[in-house]
């Protein structure tokens, strides 16, 4: 996140904070009369009007109509998120609820992420998202080739992340057990550790050369490797509470809503966006800060979930640009912490089980 802290007096900061929070709550432009009545500042209505006009000139506020009050600009929201949001913890009741719901689904990360998405949506009243991000480069740690008959074999592929995939491979001609053993040896020595973009034509040609009269086994085997890598590279987006968008007037334009829903359904742009987060903690993209054009009137808040230093998922929410950032930030952080604690606890438990046989006491 950026850091727009320079140039604003404490009075301007208080006024901007009041305008942002009033607009988040009511959705209407905010006038100087509201600031005066809120008793936040002991100064005249004229002084507040002047300060709001200066905030508008500086780009922190916008005036949608000449006679109306002001609304926060994108810069105003960004300053609020970076400098004015009061960080405070969830209540004990919220934390207990988060932990109970996530523990019920602890066995599978996919289920944990889906539950987290539903939880984020229900706690914030925005659309929850859960993402298995695109992997920049899937690599294989080991191949095992198992003969089915002399025209078919199974390729068991174990990724560097521990995922196991099996593909049945049909060969254009009959092969011998020795030929399959040789192919297994060559693929393990030359393909392990390479991403799909690194398995080049010269490598394939070298494999064919090394296989000599059994070169016909190479192409179907490499094709199976590519298919599995592309499968694992894909990423997946799930969302909860999509209908909650209809609660906000920002999405009353059916064309705009249709475009946003189309992007969510298409997945690619959002997956690309969250697969390369700016921060390992929490990311906030407000309006045009997102490269996804249909998000110009929206905000996306998300947090990567790490396991062994690798991003294994992302949880977050999508809502209008005037979302309640205080509530959203504390909720996403707390859900992320709960998932991380479960992953760490599960890993510690497995390590304890693995070491149990060494305990002679």
Q: Determine the pLDDT at residue 121.
A: 94
92-134+235-353 topology per CATH: Beta-Lactamase (3.30.450)
Lowest mean pLDDT: which of 145-149, 150-154, 350-354? 350-354
Q: Determine the pLDDT at residue 66.
A: 67
Cα–chain center distance at 7:
33
Q: Residues 32-61: what's their mean pLDDT?
A: 87
Report field, pTM of the whole predicted structure over 0.85 = no
Q: Band of the pLDDT at 135, cuts 50, 70, 90?
A: low
* Residue ranges of domains in the chain: 10-84, 92-134+235-353, 140-233
Contact 241, 215 (CB under 8 A): no
Per-residue pLDDT at 2 exceeds 90: no
Cα–chain center distance at 60:
28
Per-residue pLDDT at 339 exceeds 70: yes
In this predicted model, which residue has the larger pLDDT, 138 or 320?
320
Rounded to 5 degrees, what angle do the CA atoms 243, 245, 246 make? Answer: 75
In this predicted model, which residue has the larger pLDDT, 359 or 185?
185
Q: How far apart are CA 315 and CA 119, in angstroms?
A: 10
How would you class 338 by CB atoms within 10 Å of its CB: exposed for 0-12, middle for 13-18, buried for 19 or more?
buried
In the chain, pLDDT over 70 holds for what percent of residues?
A: 81
Return mean pLDDT, the chain: 83
Q: Across 32-46, 129-143, 235-249, which has the greatest mean pLDDT?
A: 235-249
Tens digit of pLDDT for each residue in 295-329? 888 999 999 887 767 677 889 999 999 999 999 99
Q: Which of 67, 63, 66 is nearest to 23 (CA)?
A: 63
Write the CATH number of the domain with boundaries 140-233.
3.30.390
Q: Band of the pLDDT at 100, cuts 50, 70, 90?
A: low
Q: How far apart are CA 306 and CA 312, in angstroms?
A: 6
Tokens matching residue 169:
């491979």
Tens digit of pLDDT for each residue in 195-242? 887 888 899 999 999 999 999 999 999 999 988 887 777 677 888 999
Q: Residues 71-91: what's their mean pLDDT?
A: 79
Q: Determine the pLDDT at residue 348.
A: 47
Tens digit of pLDDT for each residue in 3-41? 444 578 888 998 999 899 989 988 889 988 888 887 777
10-84 topology per CATH: Arc Repressor Mutant, subunit A (1.10.10)
Contact 113, 130 (CB under 8 A): yes
Per-residue pLDDT at 46 exceeds 70: yes
Contact 16, 55 (CB under 8 A): yes
Q: Band of the pLDDT at 159, cuts 50, 70, 90?
A: confident
Q: How far apart are CA 303 and CA 290, in angstroms?
A: 15
């Amino acid at each position: 996140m950026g850091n727009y802290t320079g140039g604003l007096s404490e009075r301007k900061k208080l006024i901007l904070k009041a305008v942002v929070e009033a607009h988040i709550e009511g959705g209407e432009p905010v006038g100087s009369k509201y600031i005066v009545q809120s008793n936040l500042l002991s100064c005249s209505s004229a002084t507040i009007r002047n300060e709001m006009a200066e905030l508008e000139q500086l780009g922190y506020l916008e005036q949608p109509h000449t006679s109306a009050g002001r609304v926060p600009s994108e810069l105003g929201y960004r300053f609020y998120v970076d400098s004015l949001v009061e960080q405070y913890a969830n209540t004990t009741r919220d934390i207990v609820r988060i932990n109970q719901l996530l523990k019920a689904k602890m066995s599978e990360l996919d289920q944990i992420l889906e539950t987290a998405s539903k939880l984020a949506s229900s706690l914030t009243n925005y659309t929850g998202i859960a993402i298995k991000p695109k992997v920049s480069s899937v690599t294989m740690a080991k191949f095992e080739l198992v003969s089915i008959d002399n025209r078919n074999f199974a390729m068991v592929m174990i990724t560097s992340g521990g995922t196991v995939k099996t593909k049945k491979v049909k060969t254009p001609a009959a092969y011998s057990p020795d030929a399959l053993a040789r192919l297994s040896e060559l693929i393990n020595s030359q393909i392990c550790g390479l991403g799909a973009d690194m398995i080049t034509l010269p490598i394939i040609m070298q494999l064919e050369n090394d296989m000599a009269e059994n070169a016909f086994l190479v192409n179907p085997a490499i094709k199976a490797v590519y298919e599995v890598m592309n499968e694992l590279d894909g990423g997946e987006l799930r969302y909860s509470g999509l209908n909650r968008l209809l609660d906000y007037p920002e999405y009353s334009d059916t064309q705009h809503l249709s475009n946003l829903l189309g992007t969510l359904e298409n997945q690619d742009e959002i997956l690309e966006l969250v697969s390369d987060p700016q921060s390992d903690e929490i990311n906030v993209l407000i309006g045009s800060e997102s490269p996804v054009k249909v998000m110009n009137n929206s905000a996306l808040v998300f947090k990567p979930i790490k396991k062994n230093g690798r991003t294994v998922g992302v949880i977050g929410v999508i809502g209008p640009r005037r979302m309640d950032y205080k509530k959203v930030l504390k909720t996403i952080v707390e859900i992320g912490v709960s998932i991380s604690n479960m992953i760490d606890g599960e890993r510690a438990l497995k390590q304890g089980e693995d070491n149990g046989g060494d305990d002679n006491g």
